[in-house]
């Protein structure tokens, strides 16, 4: 460890005292910071993994109204839990919340394990979530290393590149020496708040930063190039779906139980392959999925959404099948005719959900 990486040689006593003082005076008053209840902290940490604080606050309250404790979450039907997760990103996280709640209730007498090893054995508890819950709720001195902390520490320590397991290990070693033994939960939250409010990905507020005097990136003018910018580009996709109507009902089908967006519901359709028009793609998908020929189509809506690394333009058509609705021959996937007003009972990915909202606003 060189001098700049040794917290004990830090003349400003940045870690942990100064960071804790900065946090005490600048932290946002967020609902999950008023509790040490591991259930509530856990829910907030999982929601925050992919969604902004502003979006999470009302969703956190809604969630607690629907599932006030572990027991209520464990007993809820999975479909309801997935529905409650709509708009919060990867549905696997909701599945894992449900599974972990069931395991804690069944195998641990309804009490969370108190250390990172026990927590990390639960579904969906990676090292980050386990460290956050163990430090905030059970005062375990284990540092969290997530995107905000990684960015702050790469800049403070002047670590070039995009990061990776070796960089995370180096940051963790440093923070294990720096973390407050008295307030490890506050220390971890202070590190994350520092990254979220001051050491932001773009245009960091270096002049207001509690660590500026010791920041290597700032001293070298490298704060905008550490971490190195991403080069991965999102892939654009065109997709088509059919709105098949039967009186006031529409046909939806369930996605497979494994893989991307597993177990969610959607309108029949799929990706437009190279060389296909929107109409020929829709005709192929309806034939493959429902055994239907296409008699006529009428544009209904075009919506855009993003998932994983894809930017999807989703074209929805009102479709009339050749041979009428009785010709529907579903394959392995469950299909249902559902009244438009009852579509809210089913969990949809965000693109299909936009189509649902348009149908319900007619
Ligand atoms: S001085 Fe700037 S780059 Fe360094 S930690 Fe503070 S905000 Fe980040």
Instruction: Calculate mean pLDDT across residues 142-155.
Output: 96
What domains does the chain contain, in order, with CATH numbers? 3-220 (1.10.340.30), 235-360 (3.90.79.10)
* 235 catalytic residue (yes or no): no
Specify the range with the lowest mean pLDDT, choosing from 12-21, 47-56, 104-113.
12-21
- Cα–Cα distance, 119 to 130 (Å, whole number): 5
22 lines ligand 1 (CB under 6 A): no
Kindly state the average pLDDT of the residues 290-310.
88
Of 5-9, 22-26, 293-297, 301-305, minimum mean pLDDT range = 5-9
pLDDT in tens, 257-290: 888 788 899 999 999 999 999 999 999 999 999 9
Would you say residue 7 has pLDDT above 80?
Answer: no
pTM of the model: 0.76
Q: Which atom of ligand 1 is nearest to the CA of 198?
A: 7
Dump pLDDT digits (tens) for 158-174: 999 999 999 999 999 99
| Atom 8 (ligand 1) nearest CA | 199
Look at ligand 1, atom 3, and give the residue with the nearest C-alpha. Answer: 223
Q: Is 152 in the pocket of ligand 1 (CB under 6 A)?
A: yes
Q: Is the pLDDT of residue 1 over 50?
A: no
Say how many C-beta atoms besides its own lie within 10 A of residue 48's C-beta. Answer: 20
CA of 22 to the centre of ligand 1 (A): 14
- Report the share of the chain in percent with pLDDT over 90: 76
pLDDT at 232: 59
- Which atom number of ligand 1 is nearest to the Cα of residue 211? 6
Distance CA 27, CA 221 (A): 27
- Residue to mutate, 160, 192, 223, ligand 1, most ligand atoms under 8 Å from C-beta: 223
Residue 238 has pLDDT above 90, yes or no: yes
Q: What is the pLDDT of residue 103?
A: 97
Residue 6 DSSP label: -
Residue nearest (by alpha carbon) to ligand 1 atom 2: 206
> Any residues with CB less than 8 A from the CB of 349 and at least 6 apart, and which?
261, 264, 266, 305, 307
The catalytic position among 45, 86, 146, 266 is 45
The average pLDDT across 334-343 equals: 95
């Amino acid at each position: 460890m060189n001098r700049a990486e040794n917290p004990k040689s830090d003349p400003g006593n940045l870690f942990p005292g100064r960071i804790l003082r900065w946090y005490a005076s600048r932290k946002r008053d967020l609902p999950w910071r008023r509790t040490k209840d591991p259930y509530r902290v856990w829910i907030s940490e999982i929601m925050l993994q992919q969604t902004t604080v502003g979006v999470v606050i009302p969703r956190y309250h809604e969630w607690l109204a629907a599932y006030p404790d572990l027991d209520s979450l464990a007993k809820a039907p999975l479909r309801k839990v997935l529905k409650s997760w709509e708009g919060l990103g990867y549905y696997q996280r909701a599945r894992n919340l449900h599974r972990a709640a069931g395991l804690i209730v069944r195998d641990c007498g309804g009490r969370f394990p108190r250390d990172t090893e026990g927590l990390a054995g639960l579904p969906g508890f990676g090292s980050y979530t386990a460290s956050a819950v163990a430090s905030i709720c059970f005062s375990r001195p284990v540092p969290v290393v997530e995107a905000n902390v990684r960015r702050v520490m790469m800049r403070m320590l002047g670590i070039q590149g995009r990061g990776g397991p070796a960089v995370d290990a180096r940051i963790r070693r440093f923070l294990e020496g720096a973390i407050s033994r008295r307030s490890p939960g506050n220390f971890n939250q202070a590190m994350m708040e520092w990254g979220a409010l001051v050491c932001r990905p773009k245009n960091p507020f270096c002049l207001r930063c509690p660590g500026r005097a010791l920041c290597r990136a700032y001293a070298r003018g490298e704060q905008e190039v550490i971490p190195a910018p991403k080069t991965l580009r999102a892939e654009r996709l065109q997709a088509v779906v059919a709105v098949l109507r039967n009186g006031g009902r529409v046909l939806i089908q369930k996605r497979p139980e494994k893989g991307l967006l597993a177990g969610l519901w959607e309108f029949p359709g799929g990706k437009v392959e190279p060389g296909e028009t929107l109409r020929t793609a829709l005709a192929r998908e309806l034939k493959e999925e429902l055994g239907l020929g296409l008699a006529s189509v009428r544009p209904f809506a075009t919506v855009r959404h993003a998932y994983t690394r894809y930017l999807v333009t989703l074209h929805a058509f009102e479709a009339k099948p050749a041979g009428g609705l009785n010709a529907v021959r579903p394959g392995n996937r469950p299909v249902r005719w559902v009244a438009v007003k009852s579509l809210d009972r089913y969990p949809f990915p965000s693109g299909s959900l936009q189509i649902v909202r348009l149908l319900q606003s007619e």
